[in-house]
Amino acid sequence: MLKKKNWRDMIGPSAWVIDGAFVMHIVSVINYKGGVGKTTVTTNLAGELAWRGYKILMIDLDPQASLTFSFIRPEDWKNLFSDNKTIKNSFDALLAGTSSPLANLILEPKRAKTVLSGRGKLDLICSHLGLINVDLELATLLGGANMKQSKQNFLKVHRRLADGLSQIPSDQYDLVLIDCPPNFNIVTKTAIVASDFILIPTRPDYLSTLGIDYLIKNVSSLVEDYNDYAQENTGSYTPEIQPAALGVLFNMIQERSDDPIRTQHNYMQQVRAQSGLNVFDSYIKRNDTIFARAPETGVPLVLNGYTSGTYKNVVDGLEEVASEFANQIGLI
């Protein structure tokens, strides 16, 4: 069922223009813990904002390729895209010293395009199952004959994604969403370096929230090291980075009387009090049945037109999350 028209249909995209130039915002969706809903967040933010008329590019950096397979059938990925149209091609080109423009890797998932019916744009750069081995190969490029060369190689490797995105015209997309793997390897660091913002999805439980502070510390350390190297890079201008933490977005929330159950509420309050980060007021509600079915359809759950009952309640929650996210980054 197609998504029904509601008041959000009246909201048009407000282009980001600074000093006469379009600005393409880049957001990394990341958490050390797997299974916290990074892909759920990425697909549904992208789908809802595309429905509202925005131009969205998704990049799948997770070798599990869950984001990819939420839009592309595995057999189509294998037959049509796995050899020459995934983000792995970009990193392979870096290793080989050749070129692979990101623009050549972008595809438009057909099933999602049909549902959007010409509203916004929803594009994707696929992941690859072999991406898990790329990190070790990238590490071989970080050395150098001396400290200066090592620092230049560090910048070159870590700027791979940022440089690729800088070659895409800034008015081609309003927003880039990067679905990161659940670790802090070199591939993940390329996403952080490229990003304006970092969004941290989590479940409201001990293990899922445990690594948030550690993640922020590692991001801060990366930013500090990167900017030190950038300042010392006299060979060419290298912009410094300062990705901002959008905050923590809770996922898989069980409700009772329209509020999170007590155990989950306690974890949510604990993160608010102890992390020092913004915590989204809105959250993603749990419904294993409809979330499990969504990837098979190739269409984000939020684009399904549920008009009543529990399913509609879940979709309403996703729309609220998208509105708060859009406000946070200045979309509306």
| Residue 38 to residue 31: CA distance in whole angstroms | 8
Q: What is the predicted pLDDT for the residue at 145?
A: 78
Among 122, 130, 128, residue whose Cα is nearest residue 106: 122
202-230 tens-digit pLDDT: 999 988 888 899 999 999 999 999 999 99
Q: Which amino acid is at 33?
A: K
Give me the DSSP letters along 213-274. HHHHHHHHHHHHHHHHHHHH-TTS-------EEEEEEE-SB-EETTEE-HHHHHHHHHHHHH
97-106 tens-digit pLDDT: 998 899 999 9
Q: Assess whether pLDDT exceeds 60 at residue 7.
A: no
Q: Could you tell me the pTM of the whole model?
A: 0.92
| Residue 29 to residue 42: CA distance in whole angstroms | 7
Number of helical H runs and strand E runs in the chain = 14, 10
Walk me through the domains of the chain, giving residue ranges and CATH numbers: 7-329 (3.40.50.300)
Q: Assess whether pLDDT exceeds 90 at residue 114.
A: yes
| Residue 163 to residue 262: CA distance in whole angstroms | 46
The radius of gyration of the chain's CA atoms, rounded to the nearest angstrom, is: 20
Query: Would you say 165 and 194 are in contact if contact means Cβ atoms under 8 Å apart?
Result: yes
